[in-house]
Structure 1
Amino acid sequence: MGNAVELQKLLDIHFLDVLLKLVIIYGVSVIFSGLAKKFKQPAVLGYIIGGILLGLFLGARTQITFLTDLLGGFTIDGKTRVIYDLSQIGVILLLFMAGLGTDFKLLKENIAKSSVVAFLGVIATIVLTIGAFMLSDGNLKVAITMAVVLASTSVTISVGTLKEMGMLHKLTSVVITGAAIIDDIIGLVLITLLGIFMNPKFHGLDTEFYLILVKIFGLFIFIGIIGFIVYKMNEKIVGHSFYIKYHNQILMAVLAFCFILAYLSQYLGVSLIIGAYFAGLMLSVTKLKEAVEKNLNSLAELFFGPLFFMSIGLTLDLTNITEAILLGIMFTIVAALGKVIGCGFGAKLSGFDTRLSTKIGLGMIPRGEVSYISASLAAGMGLLKESHLSIAVIVIILTSTVTPTLLKKVYIHK
């Protein structure tokens, strides 16, 4: 009996500790997302900066200990099991909502132009980043991984800026949106493949390699079949006032559907983000899209999203912050050039003149959620050190803050 009481006390203390950490994390999220909004920046940027500063003063490896000493040694470790698990659910829901928010019709209508822009942008960014990283680090595995992490464009930042200027209907804006969606998908697939092929257990073109390919191929066939079934069932389910009567049950089923596909993807050796993204993409072509977005957006963006973005800041290695900032600035220039050159050339090949091609190239500069998620997954796979993660975060922050200003200049000043 005594042991049971002691155990319960320990569990209560642990729960209160987790609760206090969540209070602090969400408190900082509120402040910094509010500041980001005031300066007309995306909330994600506020979460990232807030997480970095929180890690700087209360992180498990902070060098600035006056606050932790004042609080009796209290720290917040982003790798704590509960925080890590909740942040992973955040990754799944963020990618699910990204898939759900994809304008499939728009993507289909401009698939040729957007694909050329996206592919050339990804190739140019990867080539330039690998070259720059080999010069500074010399580790090919890290260079390739960083190149893939920085290959994805943030749809949110570019689209948000263009929408604010009333330019979202322009053909250049449509191509930017489509290309950003496509290169996000490319980025997710590439980071998944890196996790497989750079795994120490991977032994080249043996039976296991072909088994991996069969699993990947099988997963995409399964996703395609499920997508077809979902599309065909759409009319029947929604047409009989089924949604109104079973509103909550449908939303729970949607969450289960998202988690099942994420689980299957991870189980088959493909990253869970692929399953989550395609679960959202499937539902984006159904009548459930608007209702699911309306009801689950808050869950993803207000509860799990901030926790994920803040937790990365808490795990960053800030012991060599000066070096990270210098390298971050260098790779920001490289990442920006990769998109301007690659996407600009792709736009030129697609029939745009130099001025419009430059607009498209500049619109593809920002890195955001997908790069952040890819970087954290790569670190989790052991492909990147935490010092590399710091560089990636700095690139995301700098490209996200510079792009809106550049877009406003080229779109307003003709």
Structure 2
Amino acid sequence: MNYLLQLVLILLLTKLGAHIAATFNLPSVIGELLVGILAGPAVFHILTYSTFIQYFAEIGVIILMFIAGLEGDLKLLFRYWKPALTVATLGVIFPTASAVLLCVGMFDFSLTTSIFLGLILSATSVSITVQVLKEMDYLNTREGAIILGAAVADDIICVVLLGISTSLFGTASAHNQSLVAMVLPKVLFFVVVIALAKWFVPLFLRGFNKVNASENITTAAMVLCFGFSFLAVKLGMSDVLGAYIAGLAISETRFKAQLVAKVEPIGYAVFIPAFFVSIGLEITFKGMQNDLVFIGLLLVLAILGKQIGGAIGGKLFGLTWNEANIVGAGMVSRGEMALVVANVAVSAGLIDHNHYTAMIVVTVMATLIAPSMLKTFIQHGKRAVSHISLNKTSEAKS
């Protein structure tokens, strides 16, 4: 199919899907994800995962996380770094440990394979969570800050555990890259981006503001977004993490409000819908009947592991149970990091392609379920707050 026709279909169908989802009081992202499943190989086979869609999707998720950074509150993130780190740690331990017990105990997998399947389940992606938080006007709250901070910590923990595991259990090619060689670039990344964010970003924006050209500041922002993403990839981190940090850096400058208004239309009009559709396009039901029990049990563990781990982590730092459940639900969504872990595991000969396919299905299904869970907990919390406010008003009048 011609790439222009693919783009036409993606844009039309995602907006229709979002509208239908909103009609049934579901997050709009659910409608967009379902468009990918229905239009893709799983059902009608109208669209397939092409190189064109891949590139548009990658740009889409980068811009989505850049917007999240732009609208973020750096002071809020720093204030809640302790609960964020706790949530991330428990959110890795619970799904990994439960998956290992399941795979070894019920399916007689080797301990090595079980550990890697558990690591795949431990990787969080907040790209879709961010969309729901934005829709519900919940991004700059205590829970939102904990979720975003935990997602950054989660990436780091997964990278370290992946490095240790491949060094201990991988094939000869995996052994050739030592743990230090894997972890050192990640440490360097944070050192470099923190320095750039503090000193270079404000200077770059002020300098570009003097350039006599149309949309000069918007262009400068996109240069920083993609530049930080490129740097992240080169140093072994997720591109979305680089984009998010670039957005956070810009959010501390006087250009924040201007750029939010400029960048959001670029993302939401074209690129971000392609990202949501691409997730659904990776689903296929071929051969799944042989692994339904395995996939079903892993999906339950993928959801409950993150939900329980995140909720306990939040509760330890004084959140109410509903607030803690919001944090837990915000960590359920999976995405690019889970796929990275799965690809490394396959390349290192630690899981086979059948298990890889099963994990892709679990990853996508968890991502489909997570937005509704998160929206339900947020709505419940808002109703509870509203109810308390009404009671106080009634008592005051009486």
Same fold (TM over 0.5): yes
Residue of structure 2 in register with 1:72 after alignment: none
**Separation in 2, partners of 1:323, 1:100:** 45
Contact 1:36-1:45 within 8 A present in 2 as well: yes
SS of equivalent residue, structure 2 residue 334: helix
Measured at CA, do residues 293 and 189 of structure 1 come closer, stay the same or move farther in structure 2, by a change above 3 Å?
farther
Residue 395 of structure 2: aligned partner: none
The 5 Å alignment of 1:294-313 reads 294-313=261-280
Residue 244 (structure 1) shift: 10
How does 1:261-340 map onto structure 2 within 5 Å? 261-320=228-287, 330-340=297-307
Cα separation, 2, equivalents of 1:410 and 1:377: 34
- Change in Cα spacing, 1:328 to 1:412, as seen in structure 2 (3 Å) is farther
1:374 and 2:340 are equivalent in the alignment: no
After superposition, the CA RMSD in angstroms is 3.6
Q: 1:334 to 1:286 in 2, by over 3 A?
A: same
Residue 113 of structure 1 and its aligned partner are, at CA, apart by: 4.1
1:212 corresponding residue in structure 2: 182
Alignment length (residue pairs): 368
Q: 2:35 aligns with which of 10, 34, 50?
A: 50
Alpha-carbon contact 1:26-1:306 (below 8 Å) kept: yes
Query: Shift of the alpha carbon at 1:184?
Result: 1.4
Identity %: 21
Cα distance in 1 for partners of 2:129, 2:174 equals: 33
Whether the 8 Å contact between 1:343 and 1:361 is mirrored in structure 2 is yes
Given that residues 10 and 277 in structure 2 are in contact (C-alpha distance below 8 angstroms), is that contact kept between their aligned partners in structure 1?
A: yes
The separation in 2 between residues aligned to 1:157 and 1:251, in whole angstroms, is: 21
Find the aligned partners of 1:30 and 1:365 in 2 and give their Cα distance. Answer: 29
CA offsets 1:125-183 (integer angstroms, 9 cap, x no match): 443344345556633254233222358696436645864xxxx69xxx94322220112
Q: Deviations over 1:235-265 (max 9, x none)?
A: 9669xxx479656122112212222222222
Confirm whether residue 404 of structure 1 aligns to residue 372 of structure 2: no
Q: For 1:329 and 1:411, how far apart are their aligned partners in 2?
A: 32
Check conservation: 2:333, 2:367, Cα contact below 8 A: no
> One-letter code of the match for 1:97?
I
Tell me how far 1:191 sits from its aligned partner. Answer: 4.8
In structure 2, give the amino acid aligned to 1:374. M
CA contact (8 A) 2:36 2:276 kept: yes
| Alignment of 1:145 onto 2:150 | no
Is 375-384 or 284-293 further displaced after alignment?
A: 375-384
Offset at residue 390 of structure 1 (A): 1.5
Preserved CA contact (<8 Å) 2:100 2:115: no
When the two structures are superposed, what TM-score results if normalisation uses the length of structure 1? 0.74
* Superposition TM-score, scaled by structure 2 size: 0.77
2:217 maps to amino acid: I
The within-5 A match list for 1:6-405 is 17-55=2-40, 59=41, 76-78=47-49, 80-135=50-105, 138=109, 139-150=113-124, 155-156=129-130, 159=133, 163=137, 174-193=141-160, 198=166, 201-203=173-175, 208-230=178-200, 233=203, 242=209, 248-320=215-287, 330-351=297-318, 356=320, 358-367=321-330, 371-378=334-341, 381=344, 383=346, 385-405=356-376
Please list every run of 5 or more consecutive structure 2 residues that lacks an aligned counterpart in the other structure.
Answer: 347-354, 389-398
Aligned with 1:180: secondary structure? helix
Contact 1:100 1:283 in 2 (8 A): yes
Mind listing any 5+ residue stretches in structure 1 that lack a counterpart?
1-15, 69-74
Q: Give the counterpart letter for 1:38 in structure 2.
A: T
Which one-letter code corresponds to 1:148 in the other structure?
S
**For 1:337 and 1:308, how far apart are their aligned partners in 2?**
26
CA distance change for structure 1 residues 86 and 327 in 2, over 3 Å: closer, same or farther? Answer: same
DSSP 3-state at the match of 1:345? helix
Q: Give the whole-Å Cα distance in 1 for the aligned partners of 2:127 and 2:323.
A: 12
Asked whether the equivalents of residues 68 and 130 of structure 2 are also in contact (C-alpha less than 8 Å), the reply is no
Shift of the 225–157 alpha-carbon distance from structure 1 to 2, 3 Å rule, reads closer
Amino acid across the alignment from 2:174: F
Give the drift of 1:345: 3.3
TM-superposed deviation, 1:185:
0.8
